Amino acid sequence: MRKYLVLLWLLLPLPIVVLHYGRGQQWLARDIAHDFIKKAEAAEKSGDYRLADELYGSADKTIGTQDRDLKLRLDLARVRTRFGMGEAVAAIDGVDKLLDDAAMVDMPAEFQQEARQLSGRIHYYAGWVMRLEGAKRELWMEEAELSRQNFRLLSEQASPQTPPDESRKQHEDLESAVQLQRLSLTELMARPLPKEGRSMSGQGLSEQMAKRRGQRGKKPGKGPGEGDGPPDKGAGMQRFEPGSGS
């Protein structure tokens, strides 16, 4: 009996060791990651996108692949910071990869909407800047069309419970994306490029996209009536404002 009691006493630390090197390490990594995230959110709020991006990156490395939900949220956060820094190609690649991730379908609807709205804005400003740079039509048109498709999907997914302000904004965003395709270059050049778009300027975006993706395959199609006649006036004149992030 004494022998069994001694053996039991020796085995008592075993569950603690297993917990420490198993789930315990995961909990510790998650706590450290959240510390990085809090600091990153504060930096992003203050407009220090470079520091925020580094801190989100540190959080991402800390959790590894153990928390898919958190990793996708960090991916979206880094798209925001790259966009805020004006790193156009990195933001485009990041948001495209995020929306193509198979795990996105399991994320909350609010998260999916935020990612798609950000994608629409990134492609919208990329298309605008590329037009000003004199890019070939098939190159800038793909960005404009991706923007339109994102905003159209958001508009179609709106429900009767969608707040009126949000529904109106979705409609204005969609019209803005359509107008980007329909305006003449002269008309576009007469309009002031918003701050978010200006951060993408001066880096040869058209050349980078052409080199990295060729012409990216097929030309986007037009919806009924798009590209025919002058653009409508009204909601589509609305400019996007810098997002507040999440």
Q: Where in the chain is the domain with CATH 1.20.58?
A: 15-107
Which pLDDT score, from 0 to 100, does residue 67 have?
A: 84
Are the CB atoms for 139 and 216 separated by under 8 Å? Answer: yes
Which pLDDT score, from 0 to 100, does residue 238 have?
A: 43
Query: Can you tell me the distance from the alpha carbon of 101 to that of 98, in angstroms, rounded to the nearest whole number?
Result: 5
Closest-CA residue to 144 (of 28, 64, 230, 227): 227
Query: What is the CATH topology of the domain spanning 15-107?
Result: Methane Monooxygenase Hydroxylase; Chain G, domain 1 (1.20.58)
Q: Tell me which residues of the chain have a pLDDT lower than 70.
A: 1-27, 213-246
Which pLDDT score, from 0 to 100, does residue 213 have?
A: 65
Which pLDDT score, from 0 to 100, does residue 89 have?
A: 93
Closest-CA residue to 128 (of 108, 148, 110, 109): 148
Rounded to two decimals, the pTM is: 0.76
Which pLDDT score, from 0 to 100, does residue 167 have?
A: 82
pLDDT tens column, 16-56? 444 444 455 565 777 888 999 999 999 999 999 999 999 99
